[in-house]
Chains A and B, each alone.
Chain A
Amino acid sequence: MKKKIGVYICHCGGNISDYVDVEKVYAEVRNEKGVALAKITMFACADANQKEMEADIPEKDLDGVVVASCSPQLHLTTFRAVVERAGLNKYDYVHANIREQGSWAHSDNKSGATENAIHVVKAAIAKVRNAESLEPIKISSVKAVAVIGAGVSGMRSAIALAKAGCKVYIIERDHFVGGRVAQWENLFSTNETGEEIIKRLYNDTINNDNITLYTGAQVLSQSGNIGSYRLKVQINPGFVRNSVYSYEMDEAISVCPIKIPDLFNFGFTQRKAIYRNHSGQLPIMAVIDDENCTRCGDCEKVCKDIDFSQQKKEINIEVGSVLVASGFDTYTPKNNEFGYCVIDNVITLPQLKRLVAMSDRHLEYKGNRIKNIAYIYCVGSRQLDGENKYCSRYCCTAAIHTATEIRRKYKEINNYHFTRGVRTYGKQEIYYSEALKMGDVFMQSFDNELPEVLQKGNKTFVKIKDILTEQKELKLQADLVVLVTSMVPRDGISVNDLFKLPKGRDGFLKEIHLKLRPVETVIDGITIAGCCQGPMNLTESVNSALSAATKSYSYVSKGELELEPIIAKVDKEACTWCDACFKACPFDAIIKVEEGFKVFARVSDSICKGCGMCLPVCPKDAIELNSYTNREIEEMIDMLASD
């Protein structure tokens, strides 16, 4: 039982004190049982105040501390560190949130907010009175990282980790590396091609002894926790023995009777069930697509390198951290959204890029020579009715860059941009000015009055009420309408579900805090990189990938980690093993132990997350949660419910 508690109440520079009467809170709590010192501070988190607390603790001989300020998400660790520096156990500290749950939530009711704050602080004092000192759980950390996805983000972070001396396992679902960037030709800012970029990364990847690359692989299951995640990975065979280019392999591909749309070219072309990598993808080899192959055996007859005896393999790897770089999908417009799927010559920007990559001397689509291209921006982004409220960030620049590249390649093309305000932020502005200088025409629609795509006879028109020409109704006959589509979260990524990674309102994976912890997730040891987190261009993805590498590295570099001791513990004497807790635990942390005739439950320290699911189901009340013991919670409730 703590008898000398220090309480600090924070103004948060007006964030709290504009709505909560901090003086009144101070007056109400200073005489609470056990409180030896109470103070008001402008910024509790500021260095000067931290120093003051550090001095107060030995001076007043404090044995427990409460800071009433913002969310513990922001500053719990800050103040735990303060009390530790002053010689207390860090669990002698309790955080009272009177900002997010107080002043901000009740900004319309100042006296109510003050009442709320008084009760919350009193409850925190009650909790710290009963707090017990705890020691962190120390576990060893495997100096290895699993990287999910072998796009640019995945490979780039893998190389950085490997150079720092970590073992890295890259797990790529596809049989080839390269992700989305493999599909693009010239990239903005340096005009390198996607192929060149992927080649550089692939060479660095396979030439580094610390990296093991698994293609055609997916994670089947996971167990463990930060420091030691055990992944079961399934590796699907390509059914081809020799990867070198051969005439027989060409034959094998040409005799294959199966034709399916080639997603690499967004369905513009078809491929066989046995197919090669596209230029841009690596390694150079052919594979058989198990899903579509009928095992007719035609390829086997002409090529000796086909090997249907190859089996699926399962391997187990152990890593200290997992870095998720699972990328994005491009938005597929709805049926008849700006005429997509209904009007013949409406395609998307990614399709246009592939079309250009595959075209030679003229830009042609379905046999027609293209002269006028209309680009409609923000398709799948900034939707008024749809779900995607966000801006996809890369598309304005991508569209303008593609358009100007097309004009350089095919002099006869005219570009017409139907925008909602061009967002070529930062240095990318130069692409916009270049396009203007080259004679591209830009129009802008109102957000609630978007352009329309119409078909009259065999001609396609785009109609807009243009802000830039005093709201004139303009109509353009276009040979090709290009929908500048957004980035959307990628579906069917097994690790997202296996690790229960949280998603934001936009559907992309969610970081803990955009500024404080931008590449970490709430699942300890799992970092996120690149476009799985939200739309980014290539440079931004790489920055994010390298940041994630930095974080993942810091989880494993020392070989040891400290975990929160806030876990459940079973009173072995009271437990009668009814298995209720075993069933309730979402993390499989409960182990059945038999000692002679005695059967009881035990909690695995490193797996338990302290969620508390096992507590209420126990019929014998034999489980307690460290730092949230029944006594602490009961006294807190008494305080919250008091007048």
Chain B
Amino acid sequence: MGKVTYDAIVVGGGIAGCEAALNIANNDFNVLLIEKDLSVGGKMILLSKVFPTLDCSACITTPKISEMARHPNITIFTGSELQKVSKYGDNLFEVSIVKNPRYVNIEDCTGCQLCEQACPVTVPDQYQLDMVGRKAAYIPFSIANPRVAAIDIDNCTLCGACEKVCPTKCIDFTQEKEEWIIHVKTVILATGFNLFNPEMIPRYGFGLYKNVVTSMQMERQLAPTRPFHTVLRPGDGKVPDRIAYILCTGSRDASVGNTMCSQICCMYSIKQAQLLMGALPMADVTIYYIDIRAFGKGFNEFYEQALGMGVNFVKGKIGKISEKKNGDLVLRYEDVCSGKLQEAEHDMVVLSVGVVANQDAQKYFTDLTLKKDRHHFVQQVDPLLNPSKTSIEGVFVAGSVSGPMDIPDSILSAGAASVEAINHIIQFS
């Protein structure tokens, strides 16, 4: 069962959790990081380039997670879920964790992908946002960490083809759920955020019109580990040349219950527009917006750069989208500058979906009360002076679990949570 006491547990292996784990471990404290997904890296590792510097996202994430994976003071559980956190004595927390079976021995798998080739089952690839398929025996994605296979047991037919080809005999269908009880001095919640589900806005036709995609789907199409070699619209595989972005999809919109601004969508859309102009030099990109919120360091300059490159910005909200026979889309909108109702045709529409709270964290605490704010994020009880403090002493937040944040803000928030956690560990040691 291994070690059952750690100084800190970090819940969530995205960029915030990773940063916090490294900060704490670098000061000689032991950290357990648990991640429910098969790979650490969170949402950031799946991104293409990041604003406002257009750094390649993988180039920033992979070395961090690789440093974390190797750190002598950090233990990582992937494919693991937190069940419950309760008080243990005066100064400790008792954490129960379920480690889901991967049906592959992580230590023995070399990531050779022979099992992938042998597997006869094809299902939509969740890491490519269902745009292409993957096998039931699969490596999550090429820069995953750990980069080893997993068996998707829900879709596996137990045909045994993978077992036969595996050169290290690391596939093991007898694996079962493991339950772990762990004692820690402090808990850092870094469970991140969810993206808004655009099916909640039927007038945009997501799920109905094939060429209406989400911004995360477009992000994957622009990433180095992209599903196709170029940008394609899903309806017919045509390379699009009139692309529209609809900002504030699910943000600043009382009709879907979210009046908050998501803080990242303006900038990632502007970034994608710039990348699209590089990838498809002949394409027109139009961004329909309410306000452009280019507020961070270097952001406004980045917005000006997009204007200079010829990205078309239209102030106006889309009332309705309708689909033509050829799959093109007609957008009806109010052009605020002229005050007139207008229509425009595009061959692909990207919905810039917003940030909504990931409410997993609340579920872990049944004896203790983890307060949430009016937007269902974990509440920061002293946001001005102790931004990572929650309603439970010794439990801290890092990154977008407490509200929408871009990457630099998430990293700074994780840095803040780190020193608070270190202070807490020292105080109760």
Contacts and interface: CB of A to CB of B under 8 A. Distances in A.
Interface in A548-595: 548-551, 553-554, 557-558
B336 A425 contact: no
Interface in B213-229: 223-225
Nearest to B252: A429
Contacts of B295: 391, 393, 423, 425
A531 B45 CA distance: 29
Interface of A: 12-15, 42-43, 45-48, 50, 70, 74-75, 78, 81, 85, 152, 156, 160-161, 163-165, 187, 189-190, 192, 197, 200-201, 381-382, 389-391, 393, 421-430, 433, 467-471, 504-506, 508, 514-516, 518-519, 533-535, 538-540, 542-551, 553-554, 557-558
Give 8 closest A-B pairs by Cβ, nearest first: A13-B224, A547-B415, A470-B339, A546-B416, A391-B300, A421-B291, A426-B263, A48-B147
* Residue from A14, A427, A548 whose CB has the most chain B CB atoms within 10 Å: A427
Contact of A518 (B298, B388, B408): B408
Contact of A546 (B66, B404, B420, B427): B420
B337 A46 contact: no
Contacts of A542: 384-387, 416
A160 B423 contact: yes
A43 B58 contact: yes
B3 interface: no
A74 B407 contact: no
Given A535-B297, A547-B416, 7 more contacts: A12-B59, A15-B59, A50-B66, A421-B292, A426-B261, A426-B404, A467-B336
A554 B300 contact: no
A429 B65 CA distance: 34
Contacts of B63: 45, 74-75, 78
Given A471-B337, A514-B408, A543-B415, A14 B224 contact: yes
Given A46-B66, A75-B63, A12 B56 contact: yes
Contacts of A469: 339
Contacts of B53: 514
B375 A389 contact: no
B317 to A, nearest CB: 13
B27 interface: yes
Contact of A553 (B64, B300, B419): B419
Given A189-B383, A429-B252, A553-B419, A46 B143 contact: yes
Interface in B319-372: 336-339
Contacts of A553: 27, 419, 422
Contact of A201 (B385, B403, B420): B385
B260 A544 contact: no
A298 B381 CA distance: 51
Interface of B: 23, 26-28, 50, 52-53, 55-56, 58-60, 62-67, 69-70, 111, 142-143, 145-147, 223-225, 252, 259-263, 291-301, 304, 315, 336-339, 373, 375, 380, 382-388, 403-405, 407-409, 411-416, 418-420, 422-423, 426-427
A197 B387 CA distance: 13
Given A13-B56, A45-B63, A514-B53, A390 B297 contact: yes
Nearest to B147: A48
Contacts of A187: 384
B56 A557 contact: no
Given A428-B261, A543-B415, A544-B412, A382 B23 contact: no
A554 B27 contact: yes
A45 B262 CA distance: 31
B393 to A, nearest CB: 14
A468 B315 CA distance: 10
Nearest to B415: A547
B50 A425 contact: no
Contacts of A422: 291
Q: Which of A201, A519, A554 has the most chain B CB within a 10 Å cutoff?
A: A554
A557 B297 CA distance: 30
A547 B66 CA distance: 21
Contacts of A506: 297
A12 B224 contact: yes
A544 B415 CA distance: 8
B261 A539 contact: no
B419 A190 contact: no
A518 B411 contact: yes
Contacts of A13: 56, 58, 223-225
Contacts of B291: 421-423
Nearest to B51: A514
Given A164-B422, A192-B384, A70 B415 contact: no
Nearest to B426: A164
Contacts of A433: 259
Given A423-B291, A426-B260, A516 B60 contact: yes
A135 to B, nearest CB: 21
Contacts of A468: 336
A160 B383 CA distance: 16
Contacts of B418: 546-547, 550
Contacts of A554: 23, 26-27
Contacts of B147: 46-48
Given A46-B62, A160-B423, A516-B60, A539 B259 contact: no
A98 to B, nearest CB: 14
A585 B184 CA distance: 51
9 contacts: A70-B59, A78-B66, A164-B419, A427-B404, A429-B259, A543-B416, A547-B411, A547-B412, A547-B419
B59 A427 contact: no
B383 A540 contact: no
A543 B413 contact: yes
B65 A540 contact: no
Contacts of B261: 424-429
B197 to A, nearest CB: 20
Nearest to B64: A516
Contacts of A189: 383-384
B199 to A, nearest CB: 23
B145 A558 contact: no
Given A12-B224, A163-B423, A433-B259, A390 B412 contact: no
A514 B298 contact: yes
A113 B56 CA distance: 19
A534 B409 CA distance: 13
Nearest to B261: A429
Contacts of A470: 337-339
A299 B93 CA distance: 61
B265 to A, nearest CB: 10
B416 A48 contact: no
B23 A550 contact: yes
A160 B420 contact: yes
B385 A423 contact: no
Nearest to A197: B384
B408 A515 contact: yes
A515 B55 contact: yes
B251 to A, nearest CB: 8
A543 B412 contact: yes
Nearest to B373: A427
B143 A557 contact: no
A530 to B, nearest CB: 11
- Which residue of B380, B386, B418 has the most chain A CB atoms within 10 A of its CB atom? B418
A419 to B, nearest CB: 9
Contacts of B225: 13
Nearest to A446: B337
A551 B415 contact: yes
A535 B423 CA distance: 27
A231 B132 CA distance: 60
A612 B218 CA distance: 47
B94 to A, nearest CB: 25
Contacts of B143: 43, 46-48
A17 B67 CA distance: 26
B260 A543 contact: no
Residue with the highest number of chain B CB atoms closer than 10 Å, among A381, A518, A540, A547:
A547
Contacts of B300: 381-382, 389-391
A47 B62 contact: yes
